[in-house]
Structure 1
Amino acid sequence: MSKARILDPSESYTFSKYAELAYDSADILAEFGVTLKSSSLQLPQKLPIDPQPLRIELEENLILVDPVSEIARREALIFPILKTICKFSQVPLKIEYPVRVSNWLKGTFDYFIPTQQNLLVIEAKNADLARGFTQLAVELIALDQWTDSTVPRLYGTVTTGDIWKFGMFERQEKIVHKDINTYGVPRDLDLVLSTLFGITLS
């Protein structure tokens, strides 16, 4: 007996809409023929800079700004980290980058770093990492179909600014891997930075 479809073929869905759906993430991804697996991911690691200046900047930002709103978290925590990655790697940082693959796969990537790996960074709406990861997974599926890159894996992360969770899409196998670990900033800044650098410089 086949399961009933949860996405309406006649409806249009933006990326952010998936974070609002009340369905299980695995069921949503199954609509695209993709499997969701949770595990402790072994992510690429590379730390070519001294993280201390950035750590000081983030700590100063947290003293000055109460990151209760999404815009505050974006300005005080997310942007400084991604700016550091892109400045060193000498690649642009695309913000609110529009993409359309189909009526089910369209919208804007919050942050998109166009390297060989094409890293996606999603800001978790309402600081909800679980629903934010659903959105990230769907955007990785869209990126897989949209990009000309032939790398076997695509990476992304969902963040509230102070908490980061990574994901990986194995393109051939059609599996999205969700890291069971989360990383706090500024506490785990070295790990967050080394993972972001590891992905963008690989």
Structure 2
Amino acid sequence: MKVLDSNREYTFSKIFELNAEVDEILADFGYSFSQEKLALPQYSGELKRLQELRDRIEDVLPLVNLTTELARREILIAPVVVELVRQTRAKLRIEYSVNYRLIILWINERLRDSQGTAFHQHC
């Protein structure tokens, strides 16, 4: 049974409001979903000042509302990433904003196309 109605246009927020499982939504586009443990490269050097970083984050936690993704990213994630980049000298590429309108148009085209076409792609 399809989760998405090919006669409707969806925004990202509307897709996430469907209360459908990720694999069900992806199946509507002809994709499958799997969760796997990633084997990422490990840094072999010593990471210093992690306790200082932890203390700084924990010091501001009682003062910050972390209910939004933006707040969590700015308060919890960004300081950790910046410190790791500083210590490991790894290059950090920050993504530019995405034109969601183009993505939504692409999704809507795929929904219309999928009525008569079966995709057998996997991601």
Band the TM-score falls in, shorter-chain normalisation? 0.5 to 0.7
1:72 aligns with 2:99: no
How many residues in Structure 1 have an aligned counterpart in Structure 2? Answer: 105
CA drift of 1:20 comes to 1.4
Letter of the structure 2 residue corresponding to residue 90 of structure 1: K
CA contact (8 A) 1:15 1:105 kept: no
**Higher relative strand content:** 1
Gaps of 5+ in 2: 109-120
Q: Residue in 1 aligned with 2:25?
A: 28
Give the whole-Å Cα distance in 1 for the aligned partners of 2:106 and 2:55.
42
Give per-residue Cα distances to partners, 1:37-96, cap 9 Å, x unaligned: 234x133132356161433332223244343x2143232112323444566433342364
Q: Spell out the pairing of 1:52-91 with structure 2 (5 A cutoff).
A: 52=50, 53-67=52-66, 69-70=67-68, 71-84=70-83, 88-91=89-92
State the structure with more CA Rg: 2
Identity of paired residues, percent? 27
TM-score with structure 2 setting the length: 0.58
CA contact (8 A) 2:10 2:104 kept: no
CA contact (8 A) 2:65 2:71 kept: yes
Q: Spell out the pairing of 1:44-193 with structure 2 (5 A cutoff).
A: 44-47=40-43, 50=47, 52=50, 53-67=52-66, 69-70=67-68, 71-84=70-83, 88-94=89-95, 96-99=97-100, 100-101=102-103, 103=105, 105=107, 174-175=122-123
RMSD over aligned CA atoms reads 3.3
Give the whole-Å Cα distance in 1 for the aligned partners of 2:107 and 2:85.
26
Q: Is 28-37 or 14-23 further displaced after alignment?
A: 14-23
**Please, which of 6, 11, 23 is the counterpart of residue 9 of structure 1?**
6
Q: Is 24-33 or 13-22 further displaced after alignment?
A: 13-22
CA contact (8 A) 1:11 1:103 kept: no
CA contact (8 A) 2:23 2:32 kept: yes
Give the whole-Å Cα distance in 2 for the aligned partners of 1:59 and 1:95.
29
**Please, which of 40, 43, 46 is the counterpart of residue 39 of structure 2?**
43
The alpha-carbon distance between structure 1 residues 13 and 86, as it changes in their structure 2 partners (threshold 3 A), is farther
SS at match of 1:60: helix
The alpha-carbon distance between structure 1 residues 85 and 63, as it changes in their structure 2 partners (threshold 3 A), is same
SS at match of 2:35: strand
TM-score with structure 1 setting the length: 0.40
CA contact (8 A) 2:57 2:75 kept: yes
Give the whole-Å Cα distance in 2 for the aligned partners of 1:49 and 1:94.
28
